Amino acid sequence: MKRLLLVTLTVLLLGNVSVFAKNKIDHLEPAFWWVGMKNTNLQLLVHGENIAELQAEIDYPGVSIEKVSKVENPNYMFIDLKLSTELTAGSFDILFKKGKRTVVKYNYELKERRKGSAERKSFTSADAMYLITPDRFANGNPDNDNVKGLSDGLNREDKSGRHGGDIQGMIDNLDYISDMGFTSIWINPLLENNQTMSYHGYATTDYYKIDERFGSNEEYLNLSKLAEEKGIGIIMDVILNHCGSEHWWMKDMPSKDWINNEGEFISCTHKRTTVQDKYASKEDLKQFTDGWFVKEMPDLNQRNPFMANYLIQNAIWWVEYANLYGIRVDTFPYSDAEFLREWDLRLLAEYPNLNIVGEEWSTNPTIVSYWQKGKQNKDGYDSKLPSLMDFPMQHKLVEALTQEDTWGTGLIRLYELLVNDVLYPDPNNLVIFPDNHDMARIFDQVDRDYDLYKMAMTYVLTMRGIPQVYYGTEILAKSDAGGDHGLLRIDFPGGWAGDKVNAFTGQGLGEQEKNAQAFCKTILNWRKNKEVIHSGKLMHYAPDMGLYSFFRYSDTEKVMVILNKNIESVKLNTKRYHEMLGGKSSVKDIITGETFELNDSFDIPARSTMILEVN
């Protein structure tokens, strides 16, 4: 009776793993999969003490073991499965045997896919993204603030500590996000980061598990479901370049080449130009791609085929599991270029409409455009990446608004930037933004000048591309101009019990903060149904006397956007705009709701922004 109780308890503790001897499975990933995927190959990573001394067997119709690979470390094996196209959903045992005796048994499940999963819609220029750092947005469940076994507990007094924001906090405030006019949420990483000062999420220690201080896999899935019901898609932040130094495999790596530089820290040069610089030394390129960000973030070697396959399958797994709307890839060019192409190809083969945006933090459009799908690069490389973050535009936007307007400075910076769109295969699929989680807030970048802030937000929300707004930017969030990340990522007011200011309800906000929030809300909700802003053409006019204007237009609609930096009103001569305004009689200002007739000229108020629907 005691022996039976012990066996029963062991099975309960290990979930779908049954253990009959000294061998056991510590990790088997991915833990489950789906039938009906386009790629009929599936590779399982199996980790456990001396697991390589066992043989794997499966007896399930439509599933066959193609190959079992063993590596330097006997605690690993990689099982390549072939899944029939006629395969039905169900579960089966993977038997790990020594001779004829079964030593370990793992119950594996193949699930049904959601209807239409492969054809899922993804984010486009019709969307407006809301970027959230979850630890700093809202604490919906204080019970998960401190979790036994996870290194950092709650410490709101520490600018670089855990503040307690979580998935439930985002769920609780979906109405706010929807009412503001956002249609998608890009969330900074939610996967487990079991190491100190990792509230930001960029030091993954388990690729298949949501950090318990944020919630659970099931809560993440529920967030996706509830957001979709409100017309909001979830965009996952994915890190391919590095993991956290406390990741479980760092204590027992499969092979010396699992991590770049054989697991030894060598700092990355961050010289991203080396990827396409025909004069760059091979050593410089190697130090860029193989160097580590910091000691706490080991650099993954995607040239190892097992590592490459692991990362590809992991991304597919999360898209399928959490019904994702899209993916954002951190530090995109830091990974191996050939791997990046394969990663993109494999994801897009399963989800042809999936949009994926990569971070290439360069202000040089030549560097950024190299990575976009369809680019005819001199070296013949095409990464197949659909979208990129438009850092060059963000940089020029700040220069344009803060510099004095002369022949070569000020608004002319924005005007001349757009000529670089000839470098991009699809400039309308770039993500544009006034600020993000790694830089000072736009209100600080324009020296806390509210008029310039409104110009920045207007430009981003009406220009070509996909707009992204960082949480709190809509209420004039302030930051440390020196770049301290802990201060850039402020707690959203109202996200914690006892907050005196609540930006979700407006309670305690200053008048200027309320005005900024209402200003953004008006434009965001207006653009939701404005196809001319989503996919219309663009025509702009050279800045003149501190005034810059551009049109978004189609066969049926026209919108005129005007930014006036002057401290006095400017009389606009409509004859200059005859290509766009010829034959039109009136315009409506979508901010004020005012409609006025188009005469030979009309006044543009000092330091103002206008979005005019042309009738």
Residues with catalytic function: 330, 359
| Residues near 478 by beta carbon (within 8 Å), at least 6 away in sequence | 441, 443, 444, 448, 490
Upstream peptide bond of 30 is cis (omega within 30 degrees of 0): yes
- Return d(Cα 215, Cα 203) in angstroms, integer: 17
Q: Exposed (0-12), middle (13-18) or buried (19+): which is 172, by Cβ within 10 Å?
A: middle
DSSP one-letter code for 255: S
Contacts of range 583-592, beta carbons closer than 8 Å, 24 or more positions apart: 584/558, 584/614, 584/615, 585/615, 586/615, 587/560, 587/612, 587/613, 587/614, 587/615, 588/612, 588/613, 588/615, 590/522, 590/523, 590/526, 591/519, 591/522, 591/523
C-alpha separations of 406 from 338, 411, 544, 545, 547 in Å = 45, 9, 10, 9, 12
Tokens of 270: 């961050």
Tokens of 319: 């898209």
**Residue-wise DSSP of 544-602:** ETTEEEEEEE-SS-EEEEEEE--SS-EEEEGGGGHHHHTT--EEEETTT--EEE--SEE
CB burial readout 526-540, b (16+ within 10 A) else e: bbbebebbbebeeee
Residues paired with 154 in a beta bridge: 162
If DSSP states are collapsed to H, E and C, what string results for 207-231?
Answer: EEEECCCCCCHHHHHHHHHHHHHCC
C-alpha separations of 194 from 17, 201, 222 in Å = 24, 10, 23
Backbone angles phi, psi at 577, to 5 degrees: -105, 30
- Return d(Cα 414, Cα 434) in angstroms, integer: 13
Question: Could you tell me if 131 and 186 are in contact, meaning their C-beta atoms sit under 8 angstroms apart?
Answer: yes
The residue assigned the tokens 């700092």 is 267
- E strand or H helix that includes residue 110: strand 101-111
